[in-house]
């Protein structure tokens, strides 16, 4: 009413001040969320499914970059009434499982858009994703299979470099195992022991216990978005991407040709895939703990070759052990063995090379490297023996000096007696 | 020719005075004469330390980066380096042992009575200096055990009231043990302590010559009885000196045996950031003090148990040093017997507590 | 008298022999050993022209292996040969001009920087000095 024109103005002023006060006292963030009434209302809700999305949203990378609830769910963020959630305004309360990937891709596959946020963005490839089993099953309506939000989370998505993210390197195995376990996968044909095997493996222990982030998790071998059992030309290309030497040698070897003809896969046949343990020399046998027996018959030419190689390996190992025990003996006797230990370390390095060299499955090559190793181990043992000889020399020297001292003591004692005999009693 | 050179030197240097002193010097012969040898034994072992120490100086490097490696170099690469180093480490322990035998025998035989009070006091100062030599030298190889033993030792010094922190910082060359500590300890070990010991040792030896050998009260008593035979004396040169030589040769033999059969270990290079290795204990001559402090309760009459222990040991040490002024001047009577008992108790205490440390604290 | 003279002479001789037993180690000790100091900061890695351009050798340095590389243009580079991933000994691949670790395919460039694979840190670099006939490798100043 014009009779009191200032009243509306002052009411707006008071409301504005109250909102500012509310903003300041409740610590509401400025910027995007300050305009986003969705967050304002939902965080005050009592019903769990309505308030849950607001709990971690402040840490979500999308919100940090200025996006809002409406960016994915549509609707009108500026409208503080229920009319904000009008489907005519594009609001989608619940995004269908099989549509999630396309929704995320609408930004993440758009290079021009992503470049607003990062000069060198990761551009999601929908084509890559379409190669995966997850995509194929999801597009057929399977809602139990993984899509973007299953692994990356939702309403609190963190970059993969953040240790709290479910796709941080160390968290990846557990994230995959969230679904790939016996209970969840009941009724499906896939094996479900991968996680259990992985945590006992060399790679699992390196990543999860030692914190070596370079150790492979599920995605390093299976891919991230195009997750599938490796369908590469050769599995040795997966393993060989880190185990370069072994991969190089194996691809050129007769073993690979043989395995291909039998339809067997390289690397995995002997080392397994998920529960990979530290290889041992015992694996090199047809019987017992050996892996060769998977394909080879006892008594065949390959068996004989194996025996030769194994004896070479054992010979090198024993040679190293002998050198080590000699060095220890010298050290226990107080001798300095620095040079011997240097040689021994060289020999040990050679042993690593020998074990890698095995993957050529070429007797001549393997024997060559083995002989080098044996030579180095022998050198170390020789140096230990020299130290032990020195020790013996010291004892002899000590013995002779003691004899000399005792002899002189005896003479001096006699001299004392002689003098005192002459002197008479004191 | 040599005789002529000898005569020339004797004349120019006035060596006749010394020759006469030596020829006139006599050593009493009695039941307890055995203990007279221990001063000379300590001196001989000290001489071994000086010679081997100077030899080690030719190759040792006193910096945190190089100390451990230089000791390893001496042990592994230098001809007979292992022998010189092992003798130096073993002789240090033998010397301290000889010094303690010398002190305890002097105490129990009451050699500190007038006019030999200064000899006793200078001897106590020398014992303290010898402990300082041992403590400073122990750090020089810069291995784990030495590093942490020095840390514990300087921590204890730092617990003294009022002056403790200053002493700790002075010793360590800072708040913590660093390469600066090593340089400082090296300076103490090869320059400061030798200089001080030279002066006090000179005084100690002069006083021994001036006052002659003390005779224990029991022997004096027997000699004072009417009808007692005249006291037996032995010429210092050649009789006592040759006997000294036998003892010194035996000590040399023991050192050769120890160095060859039990070479001193190198240990692992000191790493200030690694946790202290289990079972640190100081060298045996500090062990009884260490064990005493370990066994005290954490609070005594409202004060820190460790502090009470340190003060107690300090007061006991000062009392011990003041014995010439506290005991009966004639060395007889009830007070004298009390002090003898105190001496025996002290020896037993030290032996037992040293043994306890070795029983309980295993590195 | 003759016996006493003989006896004194015997003491003299055996005392001298004993003195020899004592002085001999001291005399040997005083003569410096072939390497004049502990090889912790610097060491002789190779002889001049021992390495062809484009090749390398590993040498012991302070208890750990080091790698000396002669690049194609004749220049020398030296690094620790201990891979920063899991400690295997690295080697030089002349054809790629990279330092490579056979264990898990880690690669470093000729500055020692870790350029691919698991190694988390670069290789420590050493100084190389050509002193006459010898190639000396020394810990870098300020290291």
| Helix A338-357 and helix A363-423, axial crossing angle in degrees, nearest 10 | 170
Contact at CB, A241 and C14, closer than 8 angstroms: no
Cβ separation of C38 and B77 shorter than 8 Å?
yes
B233: phi then psi, degrees, rounded to nearest 5: -130, 150
- Contact at CB, A402 and B256, closer than 8 angstroms: yes
Residues 339-398 of A with CB under 8 A from B: 394-395, 397-398
Q: What is the pTM of this model?
A: 0.72
Distances in Å between the Cα of A221 and the Cα atoms of A31, A235, A238 are 41, 9, 6
For residue A84, give how far its alpha carbon lies from the nearest alpha carbon of chain C (Å): 50
Among C7, C117, C118, the residue with its CB nearest the CB of A415 is C7
Partners of A213 on chain C (C-beta within 8 Å) are 120
Are B232 and A426 in contact (CB < 8 Å)?
yes
**Residue C125, helix vs strand vs coil:** strand
Report the chain C residue with the minimal C-alpha distance to residue A206. C86
What does DSSP say about strands C134-139 and C125-131: parallel, antiparallel, or unpaired?
antiparallel
pLDDT tens digits, A280-298: 877 887 777 788 877 777 7
> Residue A200: which pLDDT band, with cuts at 50, 70 and 90?
very high
ipTM for this model: 0.84
d(CA A267, CA A272): 7
Across the interface, do B239 and A420 touch by the CB < 8 Å criterion? yes
pLDDT given for residue A1 in this prediction: 45
Residue A336 touches partner B, C-beta closer than 8 Å: yes
Q: Are A242 and C117 an interchain contact pair (Cβ–Cβ within 8 Å)?
A: yes
Neighbours of chain C (3+ CB pairs under 8 A): A, B
Phi then psi for B304, rounded to 5 degrees? -55, 130
> What is the rounded average pLDDT for all residues in chain A?
84
Q: What is the DSSP string of A278-346?
A: PP-GGGSSSSTT-SGGGTPPTTSHHHHHHHHHHHHHHHHHHHHHHHHHHHHHHHHTT---HHHHHHHHH
3-state DSSP of chain B: CHHHHHHHHHHHHCHHHHHHHHHHCEEECCCCHHHHHHHHHHHHHHHHHHHHHHHHHCCCCCCCCCHHHHHHHHHHCCCCHHHHHHHHHHHHHHHHHHHHHHHHHHHHCCCCCCCCHHHHHHHHHHHHHHHHHHHHHHHCCCEHHHHHHHHHHHHHHHCCCCCHHHHHHHHHCCCCCCHHHHHHHHHHHHHHHHHHHHHHHHHHHHHHHHHCCCCCHHHHHHHHCCCCCCCCEEEHHHHHHHHHHHHHHHHHHHHHHHHHHCCCCCCCECCCCCCCCCCCCCCHHHHHHHHHHHHCCCEECCEEHHHHHHHHHHHHHHHHHCHHHHCCCCCCCHHHHHHHHHHHHHHHHHHHHHHHHHHHCCC
- pLDDT given for residue C137 in this prediction: 92
Q: How far is the alpha carbon of A343 from chain B, nearest alpha carbon, in Å? A: 16
Q: Are B88 and B35 in contact (CB under 8 A)?
A: no
**Taking the CB of residue B240, how many other CB atoms lie within 10 A of it?**
22
Cα–Cα distance for residue pair A6/A201, rounded to 1 Å: 76
pLDDT reading at A425 higher than 70: no
Residue entry with tokens 């020297």: A397
Q: Is the pLDDT of residue C110 over 50?
A: yes
Between CA B296 and CA B304, with CA B299 as vertex, the angle to 5 degrees is 90
Q: Give the span between the Cα atoms of B221 and B46, in whole angstroms.
A: 35
Residue A99 and residue B64: Cα distance in Å, rounded? 66
Indicate the average pLDDT of chain C. 89
Contacting residues of B for A412, CB less than 8 Å apart? 242, 245-246, 249
pLDDT in tens, chain B (363 residues): 888 998 999 999 988 888 888 888 999 999 899 999 999 999 999 999 999 999 999 999 999 988 998 998 998 889 999 999 999 999 999 999 999 999 999 999 999 998 999 999 999 999 999 999 999 999 999 999 899 989 988 988 888 888 989 999 999 999 999 999 999 999 999 999 999 999 999 999 999 999 999 999 988 888 888 888 888 898 998 899 999 999 999 999 999 999 988 888 888 889 888 888 787 888 899 989 989 988 888 888 888 888 888 889 999 999 999 999 998 888 788 888 999 999 999 999 999 999 998 888 776
User: Are β-strands C55-61 and C64-70 bridged in parallel, bridged antiparallel, or unpaired?
Assistant: antiparallel
* CA–CA dist B262, B13 (Å, integer): 44
Q: What b/e sequence results for A91-117 when a residue is b if at least 16 CB atoms lie within 10 Å of its CB, and e otherwise?
A: beeebebbebbbbbbebbbeeeebeee
Neighbouring C-beta atoms of residue A26, cutoff 10 Å = 9
CA distance B72 to chain A (A): 8
C60 vs A342, A353, A412: nearest CB = A342
C63 contact B CB<8A: no
Q: Which residues of A touch C14 (CB under 8 A)?
A: 404, 407-408, 411
Tell me the pLDDT tens digit for each residue of A288-339: 778 887 777 777 777 777 778 888 888 898 999 999 999 998 887 778 787 8
Q: Which residues of A touch C24 (CB under 8 A)?
A: none
For residue B77, which residues of chain C lie inside 8 Å, CB to CB?
33-35, 38
| Per-residue CA distances from A22 to A8, A16, A18, A373, B298 (Å) | 20, 10, 6, 76, 56
Q: How far is B196 from chain C (nearest CA, A)?
A: 27
For residue A426, list chain B residues with Cβ-Cβ distance below 8 A.
29, 232-235, 239
Q: What pLDDT score was predicted for residue A230? A: 60
Q: Is A18 helix (H, G, I), strand (E, B) or coil?
A: helix
């Amino acid at each position: 009413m014009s009779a009191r024109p200032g009243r509306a103005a002052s009411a707006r002023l008071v409301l504005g001040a109250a909102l500012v006060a509310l903003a300041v006292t409740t610590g509401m963030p400025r910027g995007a969320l300050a305009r986003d009434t969705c967050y304002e209302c939902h965080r005050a809700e009592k019903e769990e499914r309505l308030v849950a999305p607001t709990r971690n949203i402040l840490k979500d990378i999308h919100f940090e970059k200025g996006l809002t609830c409406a960016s994915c769910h549509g609707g009108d963020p500026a409208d503080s009434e229920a009319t904000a959630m009008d489907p005519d305004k594009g609001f989608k309360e619940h995004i269908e499982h099989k549509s999630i990937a396309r929704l995320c891709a609408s930004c993440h596959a758009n290079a021009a858009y992503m470049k607003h946020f990062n000069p060198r963005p990761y551009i999601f490839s929908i084509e890559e994703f379409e190669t995966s089993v997850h995509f194929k099953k999801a597009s057929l309506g399977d809602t139990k299979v993984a899509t973007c939000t299953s692994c990356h989370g939702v309403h609190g998505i963190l970059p993969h470099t953040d240790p709290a993210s479910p796709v941080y390197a160390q968290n990846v195995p557990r994230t995959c195992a969230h679904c790939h376990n016996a209970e969840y996968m009941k009724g499906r044909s896939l094996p479900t022991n991968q996680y259990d095997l992985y945590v006992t493996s060399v790679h699992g222990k390196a990543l999860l216990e030692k914190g070596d982030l370079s150790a492979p998790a599920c995605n390093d071998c299976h891919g991230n978005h195009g997750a599938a059992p490796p369908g590469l030309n050769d599995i040795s290309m997966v393993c060989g991407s880190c185990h370069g030497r072994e991969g190089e040698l194996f691809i050129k070897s007769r073993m690979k040709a043989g395995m291909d003809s039998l339809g067997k896969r390289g690397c995995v046949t002997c080392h397994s895939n998920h529960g990979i343990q530290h290889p041992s020399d015992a694996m090199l046998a047809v019987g017992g703990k050996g892996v060769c027996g998977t394909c080879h018959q006892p008594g065949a030419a390959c068996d004989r070759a194996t025996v030769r190689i194994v004896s070479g390996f054992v010979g090198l190992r024993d040679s190293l052990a002998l050198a080590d025990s000699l060095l220890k003996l010298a050290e226990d006797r107080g001798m300095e063995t620095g040079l011997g230990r240097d040689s021994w370390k060289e020999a040990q390095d050679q042993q690593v090379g020998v074990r890698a060299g095995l993957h050529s499955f070429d007797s001549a090559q393997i024997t060559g490297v083995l002989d080098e190793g044996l030579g180095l181990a022998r050198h170390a043992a020789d140096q230990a023996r020299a130290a032990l000889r020195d020790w013996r020399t010291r004892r002899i020297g000590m013995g002779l000096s003691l004899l000399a001292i005792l002899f002189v003591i005896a003479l001096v004692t006699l001299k004392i007696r002689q003098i005192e005999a002459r002197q008479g009693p004191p | 020719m040599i005789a002529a050179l000898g005569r020339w030197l004797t004349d120019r240097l006035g060596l006749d005075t010394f020759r006469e002193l030596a020829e006139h010097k006599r050593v009493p012969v009695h039941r307890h004469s055995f203990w007279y040898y221990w001063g000379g034994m300590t001196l001989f072992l000290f001489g071994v330390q000086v010679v081997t120490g100077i030899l080690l100086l030719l190759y040792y490097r006193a910096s945190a980066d190089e100390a451990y490696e230089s000791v390893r170099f001496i042990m592994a690469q230098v001809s007979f380096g292992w022998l010189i180093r092992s003798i130096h480490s073993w002789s240090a322990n033998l010397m301290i042992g000889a010094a303690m035998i010398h002190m305890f025998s002097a105490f129990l035989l009451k050699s500190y009575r007038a006019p030999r009070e200064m000899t006793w006091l200078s001897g106590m100062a020398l014992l303290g200096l010898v402990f300082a030599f041992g403590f400073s030298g122990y750090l020089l190889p810069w291995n784990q055990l030495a590093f942490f033993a020095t840390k514990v030792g300087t921590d204890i010094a730092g617990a003294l009231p009022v002056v403790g922190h200053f002493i700790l910082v002075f010793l360590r060359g800072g708040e913590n043990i660093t390469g600066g500590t090593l340089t400082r300890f090296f300076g103490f070990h090869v320059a400061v302590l030798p200089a001080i010991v030279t002066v006090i040792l000179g005084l100690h030896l002069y006083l021994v010559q001036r006052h002659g050998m003390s005779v224990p009260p029991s022997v004096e008593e027997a000699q004072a009885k009417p009808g007692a035979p005249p006291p037996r004396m032995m010429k210092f040169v050649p009789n006592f000196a040759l006997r000294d030589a036998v003892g010194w040769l035996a000590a040399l033999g023991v050192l050769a045996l120890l160095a060859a059969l039990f070479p001193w270990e190198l240990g692992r290079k000191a790493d200030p950031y690694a946790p202290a290795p289990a079972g640190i204990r100081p060298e045996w001559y500090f062990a009884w003090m260490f064990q005493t402090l370990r066994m005290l309760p954490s609070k005594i009459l409202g004060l820190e148990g460790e502090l009470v222990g340190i003060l107690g040991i300090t007061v006991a040490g000062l009392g011990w040093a003041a014995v010439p002024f506290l005991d009966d001047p004639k060395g007889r009577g009830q007070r004298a017997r009390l002090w003898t008992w105190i001496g025996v108790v002290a020896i037993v205490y030290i032996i037992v507590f040293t043994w306890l440390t070795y029983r309980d604290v295993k590195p | 008298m003759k016996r006493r003279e003989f006896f004194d002479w015997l003491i003299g001789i055996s005392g001298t022999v004993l003195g020899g037993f004592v002085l001999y180690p001291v005399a040997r000790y005083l003569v410096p050993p072939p390497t004049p100091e502990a090889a912790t900061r610097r060491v002789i890695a190779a002889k001049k022209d021992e390495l062809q351009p484009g090749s390398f050798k590993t040498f012991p340095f302070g208890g750990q292996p080091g790698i000396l590389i002669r690049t194609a243009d004749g220049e020398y580079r030296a690094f620790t040969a201990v891979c920063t991933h899991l400690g295997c000994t690295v080697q030089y691949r002349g054809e790629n001009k990279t330092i490579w670790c056979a264990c898990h395919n880690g690669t470093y460039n000729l500055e020692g920087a870790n350029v691919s694979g698991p190694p988390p840190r670069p290789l420590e670099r050493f100084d190389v000095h050509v002193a006459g006939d010898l190639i000396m490798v020394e810990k870098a100043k300020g290291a």
